[in-house]
Structures are given as structure tokens and as C-alpha cells.
Amino acid sequence: MSHPAPASPPAAPTPRGHYRAEPLWVPWLCLAPFILTTVVFLAWPLLQSVLLAFKQTYGPRNAVWVGLENFTFLFRDPLFWKAVGNTALFALGSVFVQLPLSLGLAMLLNRPGLRGRAVFRLVFFAPSLVGLVFVGLLFSLMFAPRTGLVNTVLHGVFPAFDPEFPWLEVYIMPALILAALWLYVGFNMVYFLAALQNVPEELLEAASLDGAGPWQRFRHVVLPEIIPIASFVVLMSLLGSLQLFELPFVLLNGGGGPDNRGLTVVMYLYQTGFITGDLGYASAIGWVLALGMAMFAFAQKRFIRRHEEN
Amino acid sequence: MSLFARLRQVYTLTTPAVWILAALGLIAAAVVFSRPASRPEGLVFWLFSRSHQEAYQPVLKKWNAARPTPASTVTDLLLDGGALERRLLSGFMSGTPVADLVELERGMAGRAFSGPVEDIGFVDLTERLREEGLMDTINAPSFGPWTSRGRIFGLPHDVHPVLLAYRSDIVEAAGIDLSTVETWDDFFRLMRPLMTDENGDGRPDRYILNFWATNGDVLEAMVLQAGGGFFDDHDRLALDTEINARVVATLATWTGGPGRISVDAPEFSAPGNTLRLRGVVLASIMPDWLAGVWKMDLPELAGKVKLMPLPAWEKGGRRTSVQGGTMLGISRRSADPEAAWEFAKRLYLDRETHAKFFASTTIIPPVRSSWDHPVFARPDPYFGGQPVGTMFIEQAAHVPRRASSPYNALARSRLNDVLLALVARVNREQITDPEVLLPETRRLLSEAQTAVQTLIHRNVFLRTEAP
């Protein structure tokens, strides 16, 4: 019979009769780097940006408290709402075009017996490695009038097609969605593929034995199993769309494009803060955007909780 | 338990790597904080252009050699334009280190002038310029972009008059004589026969002018040439003027519909250069600095291009415009603003530097006394042996005045939007007559005026100082 290891001796009683564990400063000492970094680089700037949203500034020495003026102006600023509309359109494009395509590709790659799965996965995933700025430059060259690949090919195949068709003036948002599609379809496909590979095989077999067809298996077996991952991908796509900046910035040479049809909320924030120099208004835009994003995240969390409860 | 034992206990809770990192961090911090903030002795000079830096070296060396102590020598530092702007604005607004002398491009200057006039970080040069007679020596319109609320904050580096460059090889081969051209109408009438469809695809293979509705720089130059602009002489927003309306309506018919004569061949881009080399675009708006860029970027066009004054909007009208600009400012925090001012004058008013700079960049100086230097009259083989310097100088006195408002870029962008809306209508309804567009143009300009004015009015710093 083995003896239990001897317990460590009890801590000595304090003069008041209480047992003292560790000195209070030890955990604080260990936490100090984190707390210091968080306060200096996160909490303090956040607090400052909240205050900034209620001011107009020209450097720290020239700040005028304007109360809610930045927010009231924002809600009647047509350019802000145009940016919101454009961003929402892009987000819808991302969710309703990009994600179904990603899921479709993932299902194709998840077919049993498919040869060269790793190669396909790499090919589809590769565009997401090149970065948004590169994609922006690439697509701006592709869509260039007369010399761009798209117009050259279309004019070559259909001579009646105008070789100077200005895609980036007429179809800004579709061009942006297309560029994002090329970039992110493979990236999201990897999430879906991982989720699909975790769908229990026996459930699918049982459904088949019960006479379920491919659509019914997808609808009643696959979809419920991948919902947590799918909702996460939807959330990430939505948040990414709301923060869209680099792609239109490069594709449209730093502007919002004709009639600001490519202006996104973050681009407007940048233009307001760093081109016009109105940092207070830019901060107000940033906080409204942050609140919007928090609402989406909250809604996703509730959706997942409800799904799990069911 | 003793303190040592406690510390030892804490130590055992972590890995040695943590403590090594912490020790390295502490040592690094100690080294950084123990060193006094070093700053080169004498004056520091920030600039954003390598060609400027190279041209200034002889003056800089001579200046430094003539200083007995390093206290008034000058150290130059080349920065990327964006980095220079950020560091400058941070310096002005937050007190971070900033150079004594800063060369600034027009697009950046507006932002430096957006605060209260007494807080602009540059030394107000107005009185100095007056007292030393420099207001008369320097070409007057060159002060415009560096003037805010009546005060001048920079010594102008250039004039940047605009001429028209055209493909002389193609034009002369077609037997077209452009020497009689006075107006844009004359120019297009003579050039239109060159807009032929040789490959039979139903579209012209050549277009007369490099202009597009999205090209804000050229749009601004065209509007200024006509006597319009975005701000009036008192820096008040003036987008919805009749001149602007007429110019924008006319430009819309140049850019779209059956009367289209322009093509989009952006500068500094491979697609744009390809169109220029292929002869798809026959004429381009050409500020003096762009002439130098073409010589470097498009050597294949040497001898195939010539310059002429811009055709006027109406007979007897202005034959030039203006595009771009650079100034030299002195920081108000400079340890020795007097030495900085002396250096600025030495650098920007030096006749030989002007000549050398022109030879390498084709940029003419704003100092009128330098204009008779022989280098400006020298024939330029790239432009068919024309005396390019003289041609730009002849137009220098006529360049339009420009404002320095921080809202200039915004106003320009709104004017672009108006033009784009008009081009869409021109394409839709196949309009060729600008008069048809005028009512809508006036309405759109009025809306643009209101939108920009609303934003300007929000700026409490400018609001209180409005004239």
C-alpha cells in the first residue's frame, strides 16, 4: 500500500489568526506588463477616441468641445449614408455570393475519392496569400480601358465591344465584389472544408439508408452540423466587409470613385480624418461603425446560443 | 517567508527566458533613457523629392563650407512625401521634433494651414517678403497656394505653367498646321481628321486630348485656365459660378457622346504610357514638371513631341494654366529662424541653382530675374528643338491664382462628381451641345457648393476667422 505524498506544511498563521497565501503584490507584479500595455495602448487611446468624438481638434492644443454635433451631423451627412449603403452592398455580395461559392467549392473538394485534393485546396487558397493591395493593383490593371485584359479579350472576341469601356466607373461595386471573391473564396472554403470533414459519416449513411436524397442530406444533416462554423464565417465576412478599405482605396486611386459609388465607411473615416483633417468627426464615424460591428457580433452569438439550445 | 524566498518562488513560477527578456528590456530602456535626445547640430532640412535634393547639393555644400561653426550648417534629409506630411503635422500639432526647413508639396500644404492662423507651424513670411522686395521679384501667382487668410507661409519654389504637348510626328505627317490655333474649338477642328478608324472596328484609333472625367488635376487646370476655380480671391468657396458651369458642361461633351475627343491615358501609369507610345492620344496638358517626367519615362517619344500654348477658351483668352507646386517653409520652432531664412533665400533665389534645376527637371523658377539665363532658351531635342524654357516662361506671368484651402481637394472631388454625372447624361442622350447641359450643370454645382460649404462651416477654427 502506497503512502500519499506528504502534504506541504500549512502556512503559518498571521498574528490575527488568518492564513495568508501569497503576498498581494505577487499576482499584480506578474500581471503588470499586461495591464500596463493594455492601459497604455488600448484603454487610454480608446478613452481618448471617445472624447475625441465630441470635439473638433487641430492638434492637442486646439480642441473645441462640440458635444453631440459630430454625431448629429453624421446622421444627416449624405456622404456617410452613401458609404454605409456601399458597404452594406459589398457585405451582401460577400455573404450571398462569396460564401455560397466557398461552400460549393468545399463540398466539391469533400467528395470521397477525389484525387489531388491538396493541390486544389492550395490553388483555391493561394489568392488569399497575396494581400489586398496586390489584388487591388492587379484588378485595376485588368479593368483598365483599352489596355486592360478584360477589355482586350472582350473586344477581341466581340469586336463590337467598346475597348474603352470604363468598368471601374460604371460597375464599381461588382468589380470590388469580384476582386474580393477571387481573394476570399478559397480562404473561406478552407473553413467550410474543415467543417464538412467533421460531419459524422454515420449520420450521412443513416440518412441515405432512410432514403434521403443529396439535397435532403445537405439540408437536414450537413447544414445543422456546419452551422456553428458557417455562422462564424458569415460573421467574419460581415466584419471584414464593414472594415473594407485597402481594396477600394487601391482600385479607385484613394478616392471613392465616380459619384462616390465605391466609398466605404472606413474610407470615409480615413478621408475625413486624414485628408480633411477632421479627427473628431472621423472618431465619431469610427465609434458608430464599432457599435454596428458589436451588434452583428452580439446577434451571431445569440443565434449560435439558440441553435445550440435547439 | 523572506523577500528573497518570495522572489525565488516567483522566479520558479516562470521560465528563465521570461527573466532574460525582462532583463534585456530593462537594459534597453536604461540605455535609451540615459542617452540625451540627439539632434544634428545646425539646421535640419526635410525634403520629399530626390531630384530637388540632388540639385540643391552644390548650394548646400557651399553654404556649409562658409559656416565657421556647425551651429548654422544645414543637414538635409530626404523623406517619402507621406512620411514627411505625417511627421510635419505631428510636429506642428503635438510638438514632436520637426525640421527647421521643410519643402512641401501643394497637396500637403492645405492640411498644414487648416488650424487657427496663429497656430500654423510655419513662420509667417509676409513682412519679410515685403521688406526685402521679394514680393516684386517672385512671380505673384506663385504665392497663392502658400497664402492662408492673407498671410504667406512659404517661399515658392516654382510656377508650373501649363502648355499643350502634341504628337508632332503624326500631326505634321498629316499636314496639319497648328500655328494658327487660338481656341480649343480651332484646335479640335484642325485635329479631328486624325480621329480615324483604321482597323475597322467602328471606333477611332486616336483621340485628340488626354482628358477624362476622373482626372481631377487636369479638370482643375482647365477650370482655372477659363478663369474659374474652387475658391475666390478671399478664399471663399466658389464652385457654383457660371464660368465653372460652362467649362464643366463643355468638358462633358469632350468626354462622352458623339462629340467625344478625349481618352483616359493617366500619367505615371503603364496603361497610360502605352496609349501615349501607340499614338492613341495625340495631345496632353503639360505642366513644366511633366515635361521632365516624360523625358525620363518616355524616351521613345524624343523628337516626336512638340509644345504649344494651351488653346484659349475664347479668342484673346488665357493660353496657360497651372498644375502642382512646392514651397519652402521655416518651422516656428526652429532654433535659428534667421539662419533658416538666409539659407532659404540662398537656396531658392540662386540663379545657377535655377539653371541646373531646369536642366535636370524642366521646371522653371518663380524668380523673374533668372528667366534670362541662357539655359532656358536652349533648344530641347526631345521637343523637336523648341526652346522649352522660354515657352514656359512666356506663359509664367499669366498662370491663374490658386487658393490654399484645406478643402481644395474636396471641392475638386465634388466638381469631378458633377462632371461624371454630366458625362453619363451625354452618353445616355448623345448630347453634343454644352448649352443643353447648362441648366443641369448649374443645379449640380449648386448642390456641390452646398455640400462642401456645409463641411467648411463645421470647421470651428475657420468659421471664426471667415472674412
Q: How confident is the model at residue B465 (pLDDT cuts 50, 70, 90)?
A: very low
**Smallest Cα–Cα separation from B61: which of B75, B82, B81, B50?**
B75
C-alpha cell at A71: 454625431
C-alpha cell at B27: 537594459
**What type of residue sits at position B314?**
E
B306 & B260 share domain: yes
pLDDT for res A290: 94
Which of B15, B86, B93, B217 is the best substitution to test chain A (most A C-beta atoms within 10 A)? Answer: B93
Mean pLDDT, chain A, rounded, equals 86
pLDDT for res A4: 47
Interatomic CA distance for residues A269 and A285, integer angstroms = 6
Interatomic CA distance for residues B260 and B207, integer angstroms = 8
B149 & B268 share domain: no
Q: How confident is the model at residue B270 (pLDDT cuts 50, 70, 90)?
A: confident
Could you tell me if B333 and B121 are in contact, meaning their C-beta atoms sit under 8 angstroms apart? yes
Nearest to A60 among B94, B214, B280 (CB): B94
Question: How high is the ipTM of this complex?
Answer: 0.74
Stretch B18-26: mean pLDDT: 86
- Within its chain, how far is the Cα of A190 from the centroid? 16
Q: What are phi and psi of B34, to 5 degrees?
A: -80, -20
Q: Is B24 exposed, middle or buried (0-12, 13-18, 19+ CB in 10 A)?
A: exposed
B51 & B123 share domain: yes
B361 & B439 share domain: no
- Within its chain, how far is the Cα of B374 from the centroid? 27
pLDDT at B49 over 80: yes
B330 & B306 share domain: no
pLDDT tens sequence across B188-231:
999 999 998 887 777 888 999 999 888 889 999 999 999 999 99
Interatomic CA distance for residues B105 and B112, integer angstroms = 11
pLDDT for res A22: 64
| Interface contact B406-A277, CB threshold 8 A | yes
Output the CA angle A272-B406-B162, nearest 5 degrees: 120
C-alpha cell at B42: 545646425
Which of B264, B280, B427 is the best substitution to test chain A (most A C-beta atoms within 10 A)? Answer: B264
pLDDT at B388 over 70: yes
pLDDT at A18 over 60: no
Q: How confident is the model at residue B1 (pLDDT cuts 50, 70, 90)?
A: low
pLDDT for res A252: 83
**DSSP per residue, B385-451:** TB-HHHHHHHHHTTPPP----TTHHHHHHHHHHHHHHHHHHHHHHT---HHHHHHHHHHHHHHHHHH
In-domain check, residue B223: yes
| Interface contact A141-B271, CB threshold 8 A | yes
Give the range among A132-146, B272-286, B436-450 with minimum mean pLDDT. A132-146
Q: How confident is the model at residue B413 (pLDDT cuts 50, 70, 90)?
A: confident
Q: How confident is the model at residue B10 (pLDDT cuts 50, 70, 90)?
A: low
SS3 content of chain B, % helix, strand, coil (to 5): 55, 15, 35
Which residues in A lie closer than 8 A to residue B407 (C-beta atoms)? 276
**What type of residue sits at position B312?**
A
C-alpha cell at B98: 520637426
- For residue B178, what is the DSSP state? G
pLDDT tens sequence across A203-221:
989 998 988 888 899 888 9
B152 & B169 share domain: no
B128 & B220 share domain: no
pLDDT tens sequence across B357-374:
899 899 999 999 999 999
**Smallest Cα–Cα separation from A169: which of A52, A256, A68?**
A256
Residue with cell 468545399: A106
pLDDT at A310 over 70: yes
Q: Name the more confident of A60 and A244.
A: A244
pLDDT for res A132: 84
| Interface contact B280-A146, CB threshold 8 A | yes
Q: Out of B388, B411, B436, pick the residue that ends a domain.
A: B388
C-alpha cell at A74: 453624421
Residue with cell 521688406: B131
Nearest to A59 among B13, B94, B416 (CB): B94
Give the number of other Cβ atoms within 10 Å of residue B50's Cβ. Answer: 9
Q: Name the more confident of A194 and A278.
A: A194
- Identify the CATH number of the domain in which residue B363 sits: 3.40.190.10
In-domain check, residue B26: no
Interatomic CA distance for residues B35 and A18, integer angstroms = 49
pLDDT at B93 over 50: yes
pLDDT at B464 over 70: no
Could you tell me if A300 and A230 are in contact, meaning their C-beta atoms sit under 8 angstroms apart? no
B452 & B371 share domain: no
Interatomic CA distance for residues B386 and A17, integer angstroms = 102
The total number of structural domains that make up chain B? 2
- Within its chain, how far is the Cα of A150 from the centroid? 28
Interatomic CA distance for residues A2 and A227, integer angstroms = 51
pLDDT tens sequence across A87-108:
999 999 888 998 999 999 999 9
B169 & B263 share domain: yes
In-domain check, residue B27: no
Could you tell me if A82 and A260 are in contact, meaning their C-beta atoms sit under 8 angstroms apart? yes
Question: Which residues span the domain enclosing B176?
Answer: 162-322+400-463
Nearest to B417 among A59, A162, A260 (CB): A260
**Smallest Cα–Cα separation from B462: which of B388, B383, B407?**
B407
| Interface contact B270-A141, CB threshold 8 A | yes
Residue with cell 454605409: A84
Give every CB contact of residue B87 below 8 A, 6+ residues apart in sequence.
Answer: B46, B79, B96, B98
pLDDT for res B11: 66
Interatomic CA distance for residues B297 and B295, integer angstroms = 6
Residue with cell 470590388: A176
| Interface contact A58-B461, CB threshold 8 A | yes
pLDDT tens sequence across A135-188:
888 998 898 887 889 999 998 888 888 888 888 888 889 999 999 999 899 999
**What type of residue sits at position B143?**
F
pLDDT for res A194: 92
Q: Where are the domains of chain A?
A: 25-52, 69-309
Element (H, E) at A180: helix A172-197
Q: How confident is the model at residue B463 (pLDDT cuts 50, 70, 90)?
A: low
pLDDT at A5 over 80: no
pLDDT tens sequence across A23-75:
777 788 888 989 999 999 999 999 999 999 999 887 777 788 999 999 999 99
Which residues in A lie closer than 8 A to residue B264 (C-beta atoms)? 145, 164, 166
pLDDT for res A147: 83
CATH superfamily, domain A69-309, is MetI-like (1.10.3720.10)
Q: Out of B361, B388, B415, pick the residue that ends a domain.
A: B388
B175 & B314 share domain: yes
Nearest to A259 among B274, B420, B458 (CB): B420
B213 & B306 share domain: yes
Mean pLDDT, chain B, rounded, equals 90
- Helices A172-197, A223-242: crossing angle, 10 deg rounding: 150
Q: What are phi and psi of B126, to 5 degrees?
A: -55, -50
